[in-house]
Amino acid sequence: MGVGGLLAAVWQVEIVRMVVLAAVVFTFLAVGGPLFLVLAERKISAWIQARVGPKHVGPHGLLQTVADTLKLLYKENILPHRADVVLFSVAPILVAVAALLDWVVIPFAPGWVVRDLNVGVLYFAAVSSLTVIGILAGGWASNNKYSLLGALRSAAQMVSYELPLGFSLILVATITGTLSTVRIVEAQPYPAYLYPSVVVAAVVFLIAATAEANRIPFDLPEAEAELVAGYFSEYTPMRFALFQLGEYGSLLASSALFTTLFLGGWKGPFQIPGVGPVVDGLVWFLLKTYAVVFFLMWVRWTYPRLRIDQLLGLSWKVLLPVSMVNLLVAGLLVVVR
């Protein structure tokens, strides 16, 4: 086999590998995202509010989201009058695809990553920001003033919270000397003298990621009481489901990145007996990720929604100065030590 044939064979194997990994990630996102997380959120909210929650469809209501998905498949897709047909149809797909692309650089276990990019953290920040483009397109194309207002709120929110989130990512890159998510996991635990800076960066990241995912107390783009669901108020069945896939996919991806950057990724406090390193790493990674998701759901059903001025003030007056000073202190400590 010549050099050309060898290269072609390598590319074919790589393409097959990427397709298989993409199918696995999409299946995980579809099942572990809306299907599981919507049910989990209903149960958690019922537990917090002393209610029962879904209980009729399946044992203890475990099949409720499956029934809801089947119901959405049978409903009619409605196009609003004088809406922009192309943008209206493409917007939810863009949001869902952006949530899917986040997972390209997330390492599930040793060797289990779709692509270990040397700029993985930067890639995640860039791709996750694409969500707001789909939200803007959907809000504008709906020909609805409430949808447009929700989309504009989302854009302002993303611009405001992207900066403190970016400073938290830069701090981690400064400490580890790399932007690769795999190398960042391998570099943990961080030096003890940097723990205060890492804790501050983790808190800022968690708040900013919650805001970018449009979760309460930062769900101003939706605000059902004010905007009737905001940017997706005109969307029906599967287009609405794609927006939900994007929202819960972003929540899950942000929690996975938080686990990767601040909780040691696939590393656990002890080795699970009787399993290999891949299964052990996968179990610890999923436990940490869903623990972060549970915490964010707990926050959602505990705190009220902020006003728009409070939301923007928190970012520009509190999180941005704190993250900048924190990065400066961490950089000085790295240079001195």
Give the separation between CA 154 and CA 232, rounded to whole angstroms: 12
Overall pTM > 0.75? yes
Phi, psi values for residue 236, rounded to 5°: -120, 175
32 part of a folded domain: no
128 part of a folded domain: yes
Answer for the pair 211, 311: CB distance below 8 angstroms, yes or no: yes
The reported pLDDT for the residue numbered 325 is 92
14 part of a folded domain: no
290 part of a folded domain: yes
Q: How many domains are contained in the chain?
A: 1
302 part of a folded domain: yes
50 part of a folded domain: no
Structure tokens at 1: 């086999």
42 part of a folded domain: no
Q: Which residues constitute the domain of residue 208?
A: 77-336
DSSP annotation string for 256-307: HHHHHHHS-TT--SSPPTTS-HHHHHHHHHHHHHHHHHHHHHHHHTTSPPPP
Q: What residues of the chain score a pLDDT lower than 50? A: none
300 part of a folded domain: yes
Answer for the pair 259, 289: CB distance below 8 angstroms, yes or no: yes
DSSP-derived letter for residue 234 is T
